[in-house]
Amino acid sequence: MDKLIRATAADNTVRIMAAITTETVAEAVRRHQTSPTVSAAFGRVLTGTLLLGAGLKDFDRLTVKIECEGPVGGIVAETNLSGTVRGYVRNPLAELPPKENGKFDVSGIIGDGMFHVIREVGFDVGSYQTPYHGSVPLYTSEIAEDFAYYLLKSEQIPSAVLLGVLLENVAPFVRAAGGIILQMMPGANEHIITMIEDTIRHAPHLTSVINEGATPKDLIELALGIIDYEILEEKTVEFACSCSMERTIEMVRSLGKSEVEAMLSEDKGATITCGFCNEVYRLDEEQLQEIADSF
Ligand code: ZN
């Protein structure tokens, strides 16, 4: 199971979230059948969203939405406090040749666009409040820098963000994935910031250490070097969706009696695919009739 750790250092002036997301990203790639470059981009967004969510408490649902002009067309990821994430991409099969250095052309597949964060509160307890919505233009479209730019510009939190996805040619295609977000809170000591920046600059590649079996704790140590830290929370993270047959029936019912009757007479059934996880729900004639009779 993938794990995420939230920790603090330097008298609470530095916050750290670190996660291994190899299985989470592999499941997302399996469900959405994404091309290699889209898998790299999608995996970074899913990991960044989990880490961003772990650093916050005031939401039920946090959505990161990338609206972009590149071939992928857009990426959405959504997380909650329990540590699950789900998401989708507009064009899963978009692809570009690798960059000259051999890396996936994530910035090319995304292109220019906007980075949105939406935090919703009260959804599950029936007291829905106006969602918080922060947006910034995409900065480099390599994803990690875009999360950092968002945190700085929209939330005024100077941050270092590292996100990595290592792919391979055989299923499940994702060999290693994970990330770290370090946030400098008010009062953070300049000396500590310089030490962390220096440690990160000289650290080995994130995906190579994850591939060698690193834990979230190892990632924290990789970023903090000799600085002491305290673990505040450790949890399991996974790709999971809230869709179900029950919710699908509710959704079909919400279309109205005449629409349900049309489905019955024209198709003798209905097939509904969840956009977030690609799960397919099939309603047969009998189930549709039951919905039609319930009006
Ligand atoms: Zn679903």
Query: From the CA of 281, how far away is ligand 1's center (Å)?
Result: 10
At 211 the pLDDT is 97
Distance 28 CA to ligand 1 centre (A): 11
pLDDT score, position 126? 66
Ligand 1 centroid to Cα of residue 243, in Å, is: 4
pLDDT at 203 over 90: no
pLDDT at 125: 63
Nearest to 18 by CA among 294, 190, 232: 232
pLDDT per residue over 139-153, tens digit each?
Answer: 999 999 999 999 999
- On the question of pLDDT at 23 being above 90, the answer is yes
Q: How far is the CA of 278 from the centre of ligand 1 (A)?
A: 6
Q: What is the pTM of this model?
A: 0.94
Distance from Cα 256 to the centre of ligand 1, integer Å: 22
Average the pLDDT over each of 21-25, 69-73, 129-133 and give the range with the smallest value.
129-133
At 169, phi and psi to the nearest 5?
-85, -10
Does the pLDDT at position 249 exceed 80?
Answer: yes
Compute the distance from residue 288 Cα to the ligand 1 centre, in Å: 20
> What is d(CA 80, CA 138) in angstroms, rounded to the nearest whole number?
23
What is the per-residue pLDDT for 183? Answer: 96
47, 177 Cβ separation under 8 angstroms: yes
Q: What pLDDT was estimated at residue 124?
A: 62
How much distance in Å is there from the Cα of 241 to the middle of ligand 1?
Answer: 5
